[in-house]
Amino acid sequence: MKVTVAAVTLAFAWAAPTDAQQAWTGTLSDSMCGSSHQAAHGGKTDRQCLFECINNLAKYVLVDKSGQVIPIFNQDVAGFPLYAGRPVHITGELRDHAILVSRIEAIAAHLHLGHVMTNWRDTPRNTGLLFAAMADATVAAEHAKLAQSAGTDLDAVKLHAGHVLNALDPTIQPKGAGSGYGVKKAASGALQHIGFAVQAEGATDNIRTYATRVTASLANVTGWTDQAISVAQEIQTAASGDAVASLVARLIALTTNITDGTDANGDGQIGSQGGEGGLRQAQAQMELLMQGEGLQNASR
């Protein structure tokens, strides 16, 4: 069974909250291994070891920040398999020195990573903000090239420039081939949530390291997006087809930068630093970040 970060923002309820509700933060583990799987798993991941222990009649437990192993009273909470071996925030009450769980959810830092990579409340099909940005950026790049293919047909060039504008920022051009969300809004949202993750409960050195690289790439994207919007608007007010040729070439360069980044320092590769990384580089660094947090492609 594979569990992906697609569900990282879900929370699971078991019992109705009561006045005795408390909150705990820690890692969901098992009663055989407790705070460490190192002696038992023999090359397995912590999650694989945990599931093996559960299959051998171990019980889910919470290991808190101090390393204390706290028994869990109700073992049938729907979210346990999803969050096994991962940092969690649990709400519940103590019953006979064990937690009666009413709610389990990802820690705050992981929730924000999920918003960047997996799902956000108002994106098309509730995809992650970074993927919403890439979807519209791809549309913008395609129509920038179509504008060039239109040659001196000024009406066609302007039509495709309008589609680029719509994909970049539909508040400026409401109609077009984009999703209606826009690269500007999606990239800005992703940039905001990666910043939230760094500041949130449970932020690790892994998050802080990769967030720096993702932030640099997303800052590039937002800058290039603003420039591309300005160029597309210039194209829409141009008086002749010959006059827009250089503008269209610039629009192609900018929209390509947004999706693929650019080798700004001429060293033969595109990094994640300021001035180079685009959405692909941001996605690659986010995937490494998620893997480091155990949030992606974790196999049972």
3-state DSSP call for residue 209? helix
Q: What mean pLDDT comes out for the span 218-228? A: 98
Q: Predicted confidence band at 283 (pLDDT cuts at 50, 70, 90)? A: very high
For 169-185, the pLDDT digits (tens) are: 999 999 999 999 999 99
* Structure tokens belonging to residue 222: 């937002």
**What Å distances lie between residue 193 and 186, 190, 211, 212, CA to CA?**
11, 5, 10, 13
What is the four-CA torsion angle of 82, 196, 282, 260, rounded to 10 degrees? 130
Q: What is the pLDDT of residue 110?
A: 94
| The pLDDT of residue 42 | 65
DSSP code at position 95: E
Is the pLDDT at 11 greater than 70, yes or no? Answer: no
14-28, 40-54, 141-155, 244-258: least confident range: 14-28
What tokens appear for 189 in the block?
A: 């949202």
User: Percent of the chain beyond pLDDT 90?
Assistant: 76
- The pLDDT score that the predictor gives to residue 20 is 80
Other CB atoms within 10 A of residue 216 CB: 20
Question: So where are the chain's domains?
Answer: 2-106, 111-294
**Of the candidate ranges 6-10, 81-85, 231-235, 256-260, the one whose mean pLDDT is the lowest:** 6-10
- Better-scored residue on pLDDT, 60 or 48: 60
The pTM (predicted TM-score) of the whole model is 0.82
Residue 182 zone, left/alpha/beta (φ > 0; ψ -120 to 50; rest): left
Q: 180 versus 12: which is more confidently predicted?
A: 180
Please give the residue that has the higher pLDDT: either 96 or 44: 96
How many CB atoms neighbour CB 198 within 10 A? 18
Average pLDDT, the chain: 90
pLDDT single digits (tens) 86-143: 889 999 999 999 999 999 998 999 999 999 999 999 999 999 999 999 999 999 999 9
| Mean pLDDT score, 143-161 | 96
What pLDDT is recorded for position 299? Answer: 37
| pLDDT value for 99 | 96
pLDDT for 79: 87
Number of H helices, E strands in the chain: 9, 8
Q: How many other CB atoms are there within 10 angstroms of residue 25's CB atom?
A: 15
The pLDDT value given to residue 240? 82
Residue 154 above 70 pLDDT?
yes
